Structure 1
């Protein structure tokens, strides 16, 4: 099933990379894709939790940082981690979209 997914370095997970609409695949392939995606999807909350820990660590460093350029760098890093979390939640909810496409 890995041929239907590509690893996203930024997100730290594999995401669907389907050359066709899901409904265009055989029922068996659709089921395999959805099962594989469900396994990846199940790991997303843990990935988000890890990123939240990193944000908390950077926020703790930021609260004690007096060097302005370093504060700016930490803020940028926190913002990027928050953006990744947002994108992961979007992918987490994408399961509904994939399942809906398979049934049309």
Structure 2
């Protein structure tokens, strides 16, 4: 599905990247894109779980950290991971119904 998705390094998953309006793709291509997206979408909960475990590890480190600068760094890392989780949930909620509405290119 090259050309329809790109790997988002921040999120750790491929995300849709369509060059045309959804209606400009033929029905077969639309179905292939949706099928591929559903496979990706199914992996999002595992990705979120992995990030949550990473947050838990960083919170444990933070609880034992006495160095202010390291604490600030850990807080920033935790905030970024939480932001990624939030964005992943948004993508996860992108279903077939919203695919047509948002044209897969939020």
**TM-score normalised to structure 2 length:** 0.91
For 1:28 and 1:8, locate their aligned partners in 2 and report how far apart those are by CA, in whole Å. 25
For 1:72 and 1:101, locate their aligned partners in 2 and report how far apart those are by CA, in whole Å. 37
8 Å CA contact 1:48–1:85 kept in 2: the answer is yes
8 Å CA contact 1:51–1:85 kept in 2: the answer is yes
Aligned-pair Cα RMSD in Å: 1.3
Structure 2 unmatched runs, 5+: none
Matched with 1:70 is: 70
Structure 2 residue 102 is the aligned partner of structure 1 residue 98: no
Aligned length: 102
The SS at the match of 2:83 is: helix
* Structure with greater helix share of residues: 1
The SS at the match of 1:7 is: strand
Displaced runs of 4 or more, over 3 A = 99-102
Matched with 1:51 is: 51
Matched with 1:36 is: 36
Shift of 1:20: 1.2
**TM-score normalised to structure 1 length:** 0.92
